[in-house]
Amino acid sequence: MADHWRPRASLAAVRARARLLAGLRGFFAERCVLEVETPILSAAANPDPAIEPLHLDADLTGAGPGRWYLQTSPELPMKRLLAAGSGPIYQVCKVFRADERGRRHHPEFTMLEWYRPGFSLDDLMDEMAALVRCLAADAGLAEERITYRDLFRDRLGVDPSSSQLQTLQSTAVEQGIASARALDLDRDGWLDLLLSHCLEPHLGQGGLTFLHDYPPSQAALARIVPGERPVARRFELYWRGMELANGFDELADADQQRLRFEQDLAVRAGRGQAPLPPDGHLLAALGHGLPACSGVALGLDRLLLCLCGHDHIDQVLAFPVERA
Amino acid sequence: MASYKTNEFKGGLKIMLDGDPYTIVENEFVKPGKGQAFSRVKVRNLKTGRVVEKTFKSGDSVEAADVHETDLQYLYNDGESWHFMDTETFEQLGADASAVGDAAKWLKEQDMCRVTLYNGAPLSVEPPNFVVLTITQTDPGLRGDTATGGTKPATLETGAVVNVPLFLEEGESIRVDTRTGVYLSRAKEE
């Protein structure tokens, strides 16, 4: 196309991005959180089965050809810095994910990730809300916090951990997803379907909504609190019907971490996904000792969408992949 | 038959669902950051025109529909079928009333039409955007009122009825936009 040399985002959106970056750097400087950089390319990859990394085959060390994975998030190397005693840190970086393209997805996007030693998950939600209020220049921006279980019980009348799969399926059909009859999903798949189709559009419409305390099966790298009804200490931030951020009370136990990597790799193998080299450096760092901390990753492009009042990610990208 | 994976979904793709051909109107990629990805699509049933929503698990495959569009020349109506011809191969195809639908009232012999074929048979017919048709019946216009914007109904040679300016008479040819059914102008005599 003749005009494809032009930016897709308006120049106003380009300027809004610059203001956003300056604003968040000011916010963290004031709070003495250190800005850091870690590599985009790594010999290891996070084996999370829900996220597919891109890779590059090249000889980067002079020691022969190797496979390098583009980061899907800077989480693993940042935890190595924390284990080495960095104190609170943040990073703004590009991350990459294969097979993700849509109105709210772009294979390359900008992530803000930060870690707070000594913070509980609630402390981190407080700071997250303060950051968004600061960037939106709206000190009165409301917020609500609701657990995953209460959200499903209140809005859909199902219990995420105890309802039968058939109940989850018939709820999806009742909610207007007629084709749910033909879907073959596991429990987390049904919960993801209900959350993304029926619940998410209503979240964060009156301000910020923190959804927290996830089923242990969706813990990812969050600490699990045992008990009669164990939960993963994880939160997601929603604003204007859109998922913006994912935070964890970070898992610090090296053996637990090794086990989750193994479980993830087993799930990948079962689904026919490529195996990935787990991060031995991270396991060594956890073995050395990760301070108790909470951390969160925020999609800056989506936050910018909210701040600019746009609804397609391309509206805040200078050059989306089709014009890159 | 070929199939498509969900990551190939895009507007205009023709797929089979529950035994009927559909075209994808809109495809939305939905994925919780740490969870299952879905393709949420709006699809139009090419037989009934109805639009419905469907959700697929990312990575699922769907059978491709053998649907394509081609330009064919309208030949004649034998009372039951409308007959069209491929002007390159001279192959002739008959379309029934359900395929021709509302297009019937605009079809004039020799005109080129956009025909959607499903498994080789006409599924729908789109008339040309602009057609030239002769007025076969209209009441005489009022004398003296030649240019002041009043209109009257006129029946055209294909049976369509359109509103035309009062000064037009039976036997005259006019240009009509078939998408809106609106009179555009007097046609030049050929």
Gap between the Cα atoms of A297 and B2, Å rounded: 40
Phi-psi region of B110 (alpha: psi -120 to 50; beta: other; left: phi over 0): left
Domain end marker among B45, B63, B81: B63
Euclidean distance between CA atoms A249 and A30, whole angstroms = 23
Per-residue model confidence (pLDDT) at position B145: 55
* pLDDT per position as a tens digit, A194-213: 999 999 999 999 999 999 99
Using pLDDT thresholds of 50, 70 and 90, give the confidence band for residue A289.
very high
Closest partner residue to A196 among B27, B32, B52, by Cβ? B32
Kindly tell me the burial class for residue A29, based on how many C-beta atoms sit within 10 Å of its own C-beta (0-12, 13-18, 19 or more).
exposed
- Mark out the alpha helices in chain A (DSSP H runs): 11-30, 75-83, 121-135, 148-156, 165-174, 187-194, 254-270, 280-288, 300-308
CA distance B33 to chain A (A): 8
Q: How many domains does chain B fold into? A: 3
Determine the pLDDT at residue A122. Answer: 97
Chain A interface disruption, residue of B6, B34, B53, most A CBs within 10 A: B34
* pLDDT recorded at residue B144: 56
Long-range contacts of range A6-10, CB-CB < 8 Å, 24 or more positions apart?
A: A7/A318, A7/A319, A8/A314, A8/A315, A8/A317, A8/A318, A8/A319, A8/A320, A8/A323, A9/A314, A9/A315, A9/A316, A9/A317, A9/A318, A10/A315
Q: Which residues of A touch B55 (CB under 8 A)?
A: 177, 179-180, 183, 193, 197
Query: Are A179 and B33 within 8 A, CB to CB?
Result: no
Scanning chain B, the segments in alpha helix (DSSP H) are: 97-100
Pair A156, A137: CB distance under 8 Å:
no
CATH homologous superfamily for the domain A11-141+239-323:
Bira Bifunctional Protein; Domain 2 (3.30.930.10)
Please check whether residues B140 and B166 belong to one and the same domain. yes
Integer Cα distance of B145 and B85 in angstroms: 44
pLDDT score recorded for residue B143: 59
Interchain proximity A100–B33, CB inside 8 Å: no
Quick one: closest CA in B to A185, which residue? B57
The two tokens of residue A290 are 């990760």
CATH of the domain at B97: 2.40.50.140
Answer for the pair A196, B38: CB distance below 8 angstroms, yes or no: yes
Spell out which residues of chain B touch residue A179, defining contact as CB-CB under 8 Å.
53-56
The reported pTM is: 0.84
Q: Are residues B122 and B138 in the same domain?
A: no
Residue A246 to residue B35, Cβ atoms within 8 A: no
- Which residue stretches of chain B have pLDDT < 50? none
Query: Measured between CB atoms, does B42 come within 8 Å of chain A?
Result: no
Given a contact cutoff of 8 angstroms between Cβ atoms, the answer to whether A109 and A318 are in contact is: no
Query: Rounded to a whole number, what is the distance in Å from the CA of A139 to chain B's nearest CA?
Result: 28
Nearest chain B CA: its distance from A150 CA (Å)? 19
| CA B141/CA B143 separation, integer angstroms | 6
Q: Are B7 and B56 in contact (CB under 8 A)?
A: no
DSSP bridge partners of A109: A95
Q: Is A188 on the interface with B (CB under 8 A)?
A: yes
pLDDT at residue A128 greater than cutoff 60: yes
Say whether residue A189 is in contact with chain B using an 8 A CB cutoff.
yes
Give the percent of chain A with pLDDT over 70.
Answer: 100
**Domain C-terminal end among B82, B109, B126:** B126
Token pair recorded at residue A267? 């799930």
Q: Do A50 and B58 touch (CB under 8 A)?
A: no
Could A188 and B36 be called an inter-chain contact, meaning their C-beta atoms sit closer than 8 Å?
yes
Q: What ipTM does the predicted assembly reach?
A: 0.89
pLDDT digits (tens, 9 = 90+) for A183-193: 999 999 999 99
Q: Both tokens of residue A236?
A: 């997601």
Burial of A255 (0-12, 13-18, 19+ CB in 10 A): exposed
Question: Which segments of B79-181 are extended strands (E)?
Answer: 82-85, 92-95, 112-118, 121-126, 130-138, 151-156, 161-165, 173-177
pLDDT score of A229:
92
Tokens in use for A190? 């049904």
User: Do B57 and A101 lie within an 8 Å CB cutoff?
Assistant: no
When CB atoms are compared, the residue of B28, B53, B55 closest to A183 is B55
Domain that holds residue B101: 67-126
Alpha carbon distance A196, B40 (integer Å): 10
A163 touches chain B (CB under 8 A): no
**β-bridge partners, A93:** A111
CA–CA distance from A221 to each of A78, A226, A248, A284, A295 (Å)? 13, 15, 7, 16, 10
pLDDT tier for residue A165 given thresholds of 50, 70 and 90: very high
What mean pLDDT comes out for the span A272-288?
94
The pLDDT of residue B141: 72
